[in-house]
């Protein structure tokens, strides 16, 4: 499958998906760690892709989302943002309802 199709399928098949460096239990970057912490705080299951072990996705996802850096949080097919935005939304109490709604389907 073409890499862009593969990315599209991942994003469409998972209501909540985080592209990050490392894994939720062992993040490899402070920005990814902070983002995954905010997301885990919401208490819902989410999918993740470790872009350090998926170099093709790392190279192509920035084109897909017009977003050059990681982590990237996608909810219901829409790019929510990276660490700065997710952390800010968490602090404002905006992340929880978004995640709860997405988890409910």
User: How many Å is the Cα radius of gyration of the chain?
Assistant: 13
Tell me: does residue 103 bind another protein (CB under 8 A).
Answer: no
- Nearer residue to another protein within complex by CB, 9 or 88: 88
Cα(29)–Cα(71) distance, rounded to whole angstroms? 9
Tell me: does residue 33 bind another protein (CB under 8 A).
Answer: yes
The stretch among 7-15, 40-48, 79-87, 96-104 that binds another protein (CB under 8 A) is 79-87
Site residues, another protein (CB under 8 A): 21-22, 27-34, 52, 66-69, 79-85, 87-88
């Amino acid at each position: 499958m073409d890499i862009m199709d593969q990315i599209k399928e991942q994003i469409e098949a998972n209501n909540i998906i985080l592209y990050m460096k490392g894994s939720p239990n062992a993040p490899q970057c402070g920005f990814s760690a902070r983002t995954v912490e905010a997301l885990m705080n919401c208490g819902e299951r989410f999918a993740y892709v470790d872009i350090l072990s998926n170099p093709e996705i790392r190279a192509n996802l920035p084109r897909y989302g017009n977003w050059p850096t990681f982590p990237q949080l996608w909810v219901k097919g829409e790019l929510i943002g990276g660490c700065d935005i997710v952390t800010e939304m968490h602090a404002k109490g905006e992340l929880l309802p978004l995640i709860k709604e997405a988890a409910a389907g």
